[in-house]
Structure 1
Amino acid sequence: MMSSNSDIEVMSDDLDPDYSDSANSDNEVKENKTRKRKINKHLWKRVQRKSNLNKGLACTSKSGINMPARRGYECDCKNRCTSKISVEEKANILDKFNNLADKNVQDSYLFGVRSVARRRPDIMKKRLLGKGHPIENILTDNELIQTSKRNSSFHYKIILAAGREIMVCKKALAGLHGIKFGRIDRIGQAKKSNSAPPTDKRSLSEGSRVLKKPEALIQQIESHINSFPIRISHYTRNRSQRKFLSPDLSVMKMRELYVEKYNSEKYRQWKADNKTKFEINYDFYLHIFNTKFNLSFGKPKTDVCNACDRFKNQIDAAENPEGKARLNQEHSVQQAKAQKFYDDLKRFSEQAKTDEKMDVISFDYQQNLPVPVLPIGDIFYKRQLWVYNQCFYSAKTGHSYMYMYNEVEGKKVQMRQHLS
């Protein structure tokens, strides 16, 4: 007589999850994963491209255009500002600017290197008179300052090594930092209006699209989701925190039960006219369900070998070709051993049909059966009774024998110990 070995017995016990309040494994994954993976914006291509631009590195634009690294250039003003700065000092200025690596920080730095000088009204009047404007048409001093497009000028001061300061022109400032005039002009407008340095508001529209809800309301939804009994997949609990709710539930059903529990009056009205609007809609409830919990419904559809799953993860993560080839070879050996077991099982099963002194008995549990099964809202919050059905199969006769019992009469572990 040939029976399953101890490894197969463990697998038969782990095929179905049992209800539990928490995982009991010492090897449970420490990372708190949710149903949807967390957003790692620093890995997005557009974020990496933006970071490279701020650092002055070469990159490829969204449209596929190759953008060279940031580099400085000389000014051609009458004072030859950049010629007063050594090559080493120019490189240090550009490196310091690139190392800031954040556009807002860079703009704050540029905001501090410039100063504003208000233009004198008397000089402005002389220029207007020199252009032939009648004196009676010239505005007062305050009107000139308020209406003139050039009512102020800017001075740019660069601090070099050992605290040495040097005045430069606008083009020299742009050339030393490898930027365009438009960026300097935007910072100048903020400086002239005595406001704070400008901030980069691109890619910040996300906040306006997110529904803002009170924290107490979010905690209420989390408490409601936690009120449902859960079960844990013992087969995958060593590497996964995924827990399972009743297969009769769904997010739509849970949200309806939430409204019925916390807003019963509107719920009855909605049942009557099907038009009543609720503060918590389905999309927001689903958002909390996906981002705060790692829950699914029913049980795992397929059973995966621990070794195969481990090899798959290691092979996908391997960067060295030699290491990946070694893992593929080890995986093939493991699969060959598993296939050898099933080949032996099949061979002995065929032999048992003709050998009177031999039989092959295999046994396994079928899916756990929760009872009672009732489409009533209150039943989803209660702990249901589990009924187990163990199947025994004789390869000699081809007959199957079922033994059904509930969890009050015994656990699966007790039955396995009795059989062993």
Structure 2
Amino acid sequence: MDNSGSDSSASDTEGPPPSPGVAGPSQGRKRASNHEGWKRVLAKAKLNKGEAYISPASQRAIPQRVIGAPCRDGCFTKVTQAGVHSIFHHFWGLADYNPQNAYIQKMIDVMPVKRKRTEAEVSRRSVTRVYHVSYNNIRTKMCLPGFMAVHGITKKRIDNAIRKMTHTATPLLDLRGRHKSANKIGGRKAGRIRQHIRLLPAMTSHYSRAKAPNRLYLDSTLNIRKLYDIYLTWMSEQFPQEERVSFHYYSDVFTCEFNIGFEPPKVDTCTICDTLQMALSNATIEQKAEQQAKLDDHKREAKKAQDFMKRLQDDNNLETRAVCMDLQQILPTPKLHTSVAYYKRKLWTYNFCIHNLKTKYLLALMPANKQPFYNNIIDAHTAGITEDIPTDEDADDLDELLTYE
């Protein structure tokens, strides 16, 4: 019977895999806020379109914009009813406050007063406004009531648009709601949080990367509250003069920007994957393509081996058997709760498992002190693997044994 080894690179028996630090912010495990779905954002969009909406501030129902009543000067007749409807729908179809203001400013000519109608030295009317509309490339003069009725707007809206015009006749942008929040935390404070989280040794799940490729795991004894306490200690030691953030802000950054959990994965990580991933994160721009290609090639080879192992498991060939061997990392050492321990790698006590893919028979072996004649527990049990693992009633037909490590 031939024993041929097939390394699927699922795990390495030379020692525990390195614990990569958190590379940087990625898609967080907490769902991001959908700003487009906020009530005030939806209300503002409907306001700019002239649609009916509920005011977020007063909770009043604001009716839809409609064409006003015709003026006494017969301006609607000059433009025709079709022109009035076309101008109205195109104006509100802009759906943006700034282009609408620019349109209003374009349709109004501001000129000096030609005739003084008061005996006072200084009149309240300093300029005269001449209103126009354009339909079929014909610019038609209108009165103020007619101009407001055609567009479904008020005089206040016209005054605001004229006031937001510079001396060079260029419109000013609407700056409402564009100020910086006085309570916003950013810059160095937020950077210290990210810097602290990147210092933590995190591990990934090798076999579960298809379901959660960006998921990282920290020590299971940690939680966000303990992590925040460690952050306070770290800030006191490294940056005593800088201000700390609150627990709630630290928690928001941790959950929204980082996809990190505290429950360890059910399977171990691949040493080669972790090594290549660390090399990729520390590579220069010129080296990134090469390191990424190595990582992709390694994952493709691992995928081929896993697919082949699955075919062997489902194969009914009585002359071939396959067993899978792996080391489960089950016991971290030492198990300390001091803050400095959370920045260090742990030693792991492994459980050596041998799984018969045909019969589903499982053999778990630990620890090494029960094998006094072998320095390596792996050599001890692989030497007698054919005797330790029973096959089935067709074992006499067995001709080839494939081992996966």
TM-score (norm 1): 0.56
1:154 to 98, 114, 129: 129
From the superposition, tell whether residues 369 and 36 of structure 1 become closer, same or farther in structure 2 (CA, over 3 Å).
Answer: same
SS in 2 for 1:94: helix
1:297 aligns with 2:262: yes
> What runs of 5+ residues in structure 1 fail to find an aligned partner?
1-17, 24-30, 126-137, 268-275, 302-362, 393-399
> What runs of 5+ residues in structure 2 fail to find an aligned partner?
1-16, 267-324, 355-362, 370-375, 390-401
Query: Which residue of the partner structure matches residue 43 of structure 1?
Result: 37
Find the aligned partners of 1:223 and 1:409 in 2 and give their Cα distance. Answer: 41
Aligned ranges 1:204-219 → 2 under 5 Å: 204=178, 207-214=181-188, 218-219=190-191
Aligned ranges 1:148-227 → 2 under 5 Å: 148=124, 150-162=125-137, 164-191=138-165, 196-197=171-172, 199=174, 201-202=176-177, 204=178, 207-214=181-188, 218-227=190-199
Deviation at 1:170, TM superposition (A): 2.1
Aligned length: 302
Query: Which residue of the partner structure matches residue 66 of structure 2?
Result: 71
SS in 1 for 2:76: helix
SS in 2 for 1:207: coil
1:230-286 Cα offsets, whole Å, 9 max, x none, are: 12234642122221111233344444444544542775xxxxxxxx98244434433
Query: Which residue of the partner structure matches residue 209 of structure 2?
Result: 237
Deviation at 1:383, TM superposition (A): 1.5
Does the 8 Å CA contact 1:187/1:198 hold for their aligned counterparts? no
Q: Alignment RMSD, CA only?
A: 4.9
Does the 8 Å CA contact 1:190/1:197 hold for their aligned counterparts? yes
SS in 2 for 1:380: helix
1:99 aligns with 2:93: yes
From the superposition, tell whether residues 280 and 58 of structure 1 become closer, same or farther in structure 2 (CA, over 3 Å).
Answer: closer
Find the aligned partners of 1:212 and 1:219 in 2 and give their Cα distance. Answer: 7
Query: Which residue of the partner structure matches residue 337 of structure 1?
Result: none
Does the 8 Å CA contact 1:389/1:402 hold for their aligned counterparts? yes
Does the 8 Å CA contact 1:245/1:298 hold for their aligned counterparts? yes
Deviation at 1:155, TM superposition (A): 1.9
1:92-137 Cα offsets, whole Å, 9 max, x none, are: 2123212211123222322332232344695432xxxxxxxxxxxx
Higher relative contact order (CA 8 A, sep 6+): 2
Q: Please identify which structure carries the higher helix content.
A: 1
1:178-225 Cα offsets, whole Å, 9 max, x none, are: 2233322332444599895462625x57733322424xx544432331
From the superposition, tell whether residues 401 and 160 of structure 1 become closer, same or farther in structure 2 (CA, over 3 Å).
Answer: closer
Amino acid at match of 1:21: P
TM-score (norm 2): 0.58
Q: Could you list the structure 1 runs, at least 4 aligned residues long, displaced by more than 6 angstroms after superposition.
A: 192-195, 363-367, 414-420
Deviation at 1:84, TM superposition (A): 0.5
Amino acid at match of 1:75: P
Query: Which residue of the partner structure matches residue 366 of structure 2?
Result: 403
**Percent identity over the alignment?**
25
Does the 8 Å CA contact 1:366/1:390 hold for their aligned counterparts? yes
SS in 2 for 1:108: helix
